[in-house]
Structure 1
Amino acid sequence: MATEYKTVDQAMDGMKETIANRLQPAYDTLGKVAIKHLSGITDKIGDINLDSAAKKLAPAIDNGLSVVESTLSKITGAVGAFWGSLVDTGAANNVMNMLGSISGAIGHVFDSGAGGKKRPLCSF
């Protein structure tokens, strides 16, 4: 039996209701299957013994982090000794002066190329 609608909104509401009524049984059936399998997956996750895995992994992680810590300690010691020798010989001041000169030269190149503009790369 066809229903006679007076507005588009009424027709859309009728269509939505018909679709919902037709799809509800299929949705209920599929929902029961999904619930059954999701419950099974949840039970399997609950059965996993993470304490055992953590106890087995802890020594390996501890050893790995000890190696990293030792390596970083050696690296920082070597860098500190190298920097100390640079300071002792006066080479550190020379390196700092050189970096300052390079920075000044780069600034001069950009200032010259900018032609007094705030955006120096526009000239290129």
Structure 2
Amino acid sequence: MSEIKDNLLYSEEHEWALIVDENTVRVGITDHAQHQLGDIVFIEFPEIGTTLTSGDSMGSIESVKTVSELYIPVSGKVTKINEELEASPEQVNEDPYGQGWIAEIEVEGSMEEALKHLLSPEKYGALTE
């Protein structure tokens, strides 16, 4: 059974979002997604300063089994990437909700509006059952 954190919101594409401050969200892939992918070997990050719309591809994640698109769960500008993953992408497998985060996004518009389409932990749990 995959771990689902109560303090996060989730996308149907298996990304999570954590509110960092009043206009910043940290994003990554879920425990369910990293289990499906297997051992992660490479991450293609979005470029800092890039503005993306929710659902757009923000890069890709490569495992020993496959390459998958990473989708941005909220609209906004990429302000930070987790550079530690360049040398240690396996952190996504080891700690997907902590050290394995992928990027921080400065939300476009209000935080409430940006997050309203995301799934609660309960709804995400039902999706992955």
**Do both proteins adopt the same fold according to a TM-score greater than 0.5, normalized to the shorter chain?**
no
TM-score when normalising by structure 1: 0.15
Q: Which has the higher strand share?
A: 2
Q: Which has the higher helix share?
A: 1
Say which structure, 1 or 2, has more relative contact order (CA 8 Å, 6+ apart).
2
TM-score when normalising by structure 2: 0.15
